[in-house]
Amino acid sequence: MTKITLDIHRFPCLNDNYGYLVHEAFSGETAAIDTPDADKYLAEAERMGWHISHILNTHWHPDHAGGNLKIKQATDCTIYGPAGEAEKIPGIDVALKQGDRVELGRAIADVLDVPGHTLGHIAYHFAEQNTAFVGDALFALGCGRVFEGTMEMMWNSLSKLKALPPQTTIYCAHEYTQSNARFAETIEPGNARLTEYVTWIDAQRAKGLPTVPTSLEKELATNPFLRADVPELQAAMGHPGDAVATFAEIRGRKDRF
């Protein structure tokens, strides 16, 4: 059987968001991953020659769902979003929770509940394509602020993402990597993989180039928020044997950084 592929078009929008259009060529269906800027999404879809058939919202924040209604009015697309935030997702048609699946033509996304940043946050994992769209749950060298959930909730969500295959490509929603890198170096100054990664990040940004997507394998080796279960890091943070407390310590330091 022919491997089902996805064409993914990334573009900057708003101040530091990334927009993503995901196209399944056999069916011609195209998903907008979140909707920070309706006009930019519609213009980029037209430029690519794609018609937006789906909106896949990760959470309710306006820089993720604010363009829903305008895009729906223009395209008659179907809006998918988290069941836990359905009342906050403009125009939602299909409410999703852990274990649900979304079909984009012949490609299938598994829905993961990853609360913490918001209480209903979800991610979309296209397993066959080794691709995950994680919204603000996980960033390159970072994670979302814990606005609505608890530290334990956020760590459990990150642990769920950590368990995906390491070759998974992670599409996060913001270009925060360089500032995240400055912080990560304060947590693990002796991490050689991190040092190498930071050099690459600085070179990319100096040329005005993006640092996302990233790979889960790279993040597992360098992202301090994913490494709260590493004994050496737990000891350095003063919470040996306690991943949740270690994560909370790191997140607190980042919030004050």
**Sequence-distant (≥ 6) Cβ neighbours of residue 134 within 8 angstroms:** 58, 114, 123, 161, 170, 171, 172, 173
**Selection from 231, 227, 232, 229 nearest residue 243 by Cα:** 229
**Selection from 227, 228, 183, 226 nearest residue 201 by Cα:** 183
φ, ψ dihedrals at 209, nearest 5° = -100, 155
How many C-alpha atoms does 143 have within 13 Å on its Cβ side?
A: 35
Taking residue 223's Cβ as centre, other Cβ atoms within 10 Å add up to 26
How far is 115 from 122, CA to CA, in rounded Å? 7
Catalytic residues: 59, 61, 63-64, 117, 136, 174
Residue 7, SS3 per DSSP: strand
**Selection from 238, 241, 237 nearest residue 225 by Cα:** 237
